[in-house]
Structure 1
Amino acid sequence: MTWYRDGLLHFGLGIENTFIPQERPGERAIDEYALTEHYDQWSDDLGLAASVGAEFMRWGIPWHVVSPERGRWDWSWTDRVMDRFGELGIRPIVDILHYGTPLWIDDQFAHPDYPQHVAEYAARAAERYRDVATDYTPVNEPMLHSLFSGEYAYWPPYRQGTAGLVEIATAIAKGFVLTQRAIADVLGDRATFVHVDASMRYAGDIDAPEHWETARRYAHQGFLVEDLVTGKVDDRHPLSSLLRSRGVSPGLLQWFRDNAVQPDVMGVNYYPRHSTELFEAGVHHGGGFADPRPTRDDGVDGLKEMLRGYAERYGAPVMLAETCVTDDAETRIAWMDASVSAVEQLRAEGTDVVGYTWWPLFDMYEWTYRHSTAPRADHLLSMGLFDLVETPTSLERVRNPVADRFAAHALRSTRPESVLAEASHGMHPRSPERPTPRAVVRREDGLF
């Protein structure tokens, strides 16, 4: 039985894997694996996930590392990590793209061959790791990609306004479609696709004359990339006129409908303190990091609304693909308890919620690091089950009480007979669909 159809609520974790390797004056590269020293501590990091009972791990391949130059591939580091996933029996849900492209792709997402480049990379990864990884996220948060690299001009290729948004969104969407199709060509029916996007909710003075048009657009554009890749954008779509006015041809929209791909699981990222933005009468905010709107914490009500909405819109099982609050351990635990309870309530009411993901396993560094000259410690976000603690030689991972609470929730989600049999021996039970440890067999024919 496919893991997301076994009737259980599966608990997992993520490791932050934002990669923006491009630099320019006043902007330094972001590589979260380097900042958190995951490149060095990968083996122990996955062991930490296993120690708290994680069944799956949302984890991304660093495209800029495995493809440092066009036509050159270096899988040496990811080979070792994938071997470790197999050894531990943790199911990887692999992010193919989690922001950013390799340095050799000029203009990044705006390059005319970007969709083909990302599809080639995806096919090579799927072939190489076919014996341990069958679950893939083609693009994490594609609308945030589109906003930060398009409308906000905050990340490469620094497009701006609605024209930039449409250019980047359609390019990312085309790459998304080709990526999923390339992986499916390699893995066939074994492939599972977990689409993941960020919750975008808007409240406040949305009917104010100065905000009405923008608020109306925002209410729909949060779904734009997912609507494109699933073939939902036609002349009746609320954003069809915007797309046409920004140069999207009827032929391209027809291509999306003809080549539509669907999620097996629809992942929803929800952060209670950030996912609901407020419009204020008489106040203009552009949105995004550079000119943020105020936010409102709508707690579990917002969470349940978003999970229900995505389930209804795309007709697929849903999972909470990222959640947390950045705060002390007590506050994090309170949100974990409340959000787990909300997910369980949705399941009891009939919404097919199949997964819960605390993000991240250990702390991360805020994206503001890119536009700063301050040391990484000044950008630390306390979010994880394990604290990152600076020492003279490395970043230590220090377990905090949030880890214990996550482990308790994960234990409770497994089948009673497993709990009784294995908890009595001090072991964390393996989910019935959690893969058994196995060796990774890779092709060594010079192509992969």
Structure 2
Amino acid sequence: MSSSRWYGDDRLHYGVGIEDTFIPHERVGHRKLDEYELTQHYSHWEEDLDLVAASGAEFLRWGIPWYLVEPAPGQFDWSWIDRVAERMHELGLRCIVDLMHYGTPLWLENSFLNAEYPERVASYARAVAERYQAVWSDFTPLNEPVVNAEWCGQNAAWPPYLEGQDGFVKVIMQLGRGMVRTQQEIAAVHPDPTFVHVDAGFLFEGETSPLSRGLLEERRFVALDLITGRVDADSPITGWLTANGVTDAELQWFRDNAVTPDVVGVNYYPRFSKARIRDGVVDPVRADAAGLRELVEAYSARYQRPMAITESSLVGTPEEKIEWLQQSAAELAALRSEGHEIVAFTWFPFFTLVDWLYRFDSQSPDAWFREFGLVDLVRGADQSLDRVRNASFDVFLELAREGRADDQ
């Protein structure tokens, strides 16, 4: 791609994403979770990319399995990534590269808590940007930092298996440092990068416990606020951070090294992005298009940057997916007409994913299939997972064509 300033053309770009969670660590009761392996993307990647192109998508959110690409510190195996990047280029697909989608390499002791993590992830990102600068210009330093900190630092589900608010803060600080250093290192070697920072769009209903709703609503912004240097003595979140061990010097480092997203991405799922929380028990609440509007307005006002819906979809019938596509398109059109700079909508995941709870179970992947996609996975007698378009595929294609037509 010769230029990455695609988001400045005043239209809505349609894209898709391939689920790319990688948790290679195993322990008793915790299986390896590699979505590319479980959905057979490693073997069907050419077909998958052809389907993405056929859908009319202009871009693809797609992640690199860091743990496979850098099997030992400083030693890289680019063989598969080279082939994928070349095919994307041939198809004219813009790739928004997910550099970090949850998991770290097995050799990085204590995962995100490792003192070297920020520099290790930045070094890997620099290597990616340098090698693929002729074909890739769009990068997400780390997907959903708050979700990452919850699963790794608060709920002890993923490495480094910490618990509580103390654990959350320890992980989010390391993630933030890594995000800053990743952006700095990419900018040092890539001539024209675009940084699409991706947050999970949390909404809450009623009062919450053990953390108050007010604190949770501030905490959802904590990573973006840190990396953009917004957290100072007057910030609503500062007292909570310092109560959990963060020093003034650490906050000053973020202010001294502040980075700016080119595009702020928000992930929104109408059936579980909003929740009631009582005594730590999460009860999802359907929010539909009203929730999408609430998030866009909140992030737009706070950061005043171009915005993308970087993930949205639902598990349901093709008719339900079509309804959500149409509702989303209508709501985003209304928001854009009101002056919100929304530049992209992403159906994510493009095809069936394996629920993360597979990791804690012994059943086959099929038992955990969740049909979020425009394309369904159907296991054949030879155990290969066939890719089968459902009716929502054609509706997405039409919306994508209309989006492109706006540029004619």
Flag whether TM exceeds 0.5 (same fold). yes
1:395 to 372, 385, 390: 385
1:406 aligns with 396
Taking the aligned partners of 2:287 and 2:27, their CA distance within structure 1 comes to 38
1:385 positional shift: 1.0
**Which amino acid counterpart does residue 202 of structure 1 have in structure 2?**
F
* TM-score normalised by the chain length of structure 2: 0.97
Q: Match of 1:31?
A: 34
Return the letter of the residue paired with 1:256.
F
> Quick check: 1:255 aligned with 2:253?
yes
Distance 1:277 1:134, change over 3 A: same
Maintained 8 Å contact 2:206/2:213: no
Q: 1:226-245 alignment to 2 at 5 Å?
A: 226-245=224-243
Q: What is the alpha-carbon distance in structure 2 between the residues aligned to residue 45 and residue 405 of structure 1?
A: 18
- In structure 1, the partner of 2:293 is 304
Q: CA deviation at 1:412?
A: 0.8
Match of 1:223 among 213, 221, 224: 221
Partner of 1:365: 354
Hey, what does 1:171 align to over in structure 2?
A: 174
Equivalents in 1 of 2:38, 2:407: separation in Å?
Answer: 41
Matches of 1:213 and 1:401, distance apart in 2? 42
Shift of 1:204: 2.2
Match of 1:155 among 142, 147, 158: 158
Residues of 2 paired with 1:71 and 1:137: CA distance? 21
**Cα drift, residue 115 of structure 1:** 0.3
Output one character per residue of 1:128-157: Cα deviation in whole Å (capped at 9) or x when no partner: 100000000000101100111011111110
Q: CA deviation at 1:212?
A: 7.5
Letter in 2 for 1:61: I
Measured in 2, the distance between the counterparts of 1:213 and 1:311 equals 25
Q: 1:270 aligned to 2:268? A: yes
Aligned to 1:50: 53
- Alpha-carbon distance, 1:392 to partner: 2.5
Residue matched to 1:97: 100
The aligned residue for residue 202 of structure 2 is 200
Determine the C-alpha separation between the residues in 2 that align with 1:213 and 1:102. Answer: 32
In structure 2, list runs of 5 or more residues that go unmatched.
none
| Aligned counterparts of 2:291 and 2:32: Cα–Cα separation in 1 | 33
Are positions 1:246 and 2:249 aligned together? no
Alignment check: 8 A CA contact 2:141 2:195 kept: yes
Q: How far is 1:102 from its partner?
A: 0.5
Q: Show CA shifts across 1:98-126 (max 9, x none).
A: 00100000100000000000000000000
Q: Does the residue aligned with 1:231 lie in a helix, a strand or coil?
A: coil
Are the counterparts in 1 of residues 11 and 407 from structure 2 also a CA contact under 8 Å?
no
State the Cα distance separating 1:417 from its structure 2 match.
7.9
In structure 2, C-alpha distance between the alignment counterparts of 1:204 and 1:259, rounded to whole Å: 37
- Give, in whole Å, the separation in 1 of the partners of 2:109 and 2:329: 43
- Distance in 2, matches of 1:87 and 1:313, equals 38
Computed over aligned residues only, the root mean square deviation of the Cα atoms, in angstroms, reads: 1.2
Aligned-pair CA distance for 1:328? 1.0
**What is the identity, as a one-letter code, of the residue corresponding to 1:335?**
W
Which amino acid in structure 1 is aligned with residue 259 of structure 2? Answer: V
Q: Give structure 1 regions of 4+ aligned residues with deviation exceeding 4 angstroms.
A: none
5+ residue gaps, structure 1:
287-291, 419-448
Distance 2:105 2:76 in 1: 12
Question: Within 1, Cα distance between the matches of 2:321 and 2:128?
Answer: 35
AA of the residue aligned to 2:403: S
How much has 1:416 moved relative to structure 2? 5.6
Aligned to 1:294, the other structure's residue is in SS state strand
Q: Give the % identical residues.
A: 44
CA-CA distance at 1:44 after TM superposition? 1.1
TM-score normalized by structure 1?
0.88
Deviation at 1:231, TM superposition (A): 0.4
Cα distance in 1, alignment partners of residues 95 and 369 from structure 2: 26
Preserved contact between residue 201 and residue 268 of structure 2 (Cα < 8 Å): yes
Give the letter aligned to residue 227 of structure 1.
D
Distance 1:161 1:212 in 2: 11
**How many angstroms does 1:216 deviate by?**
2.4
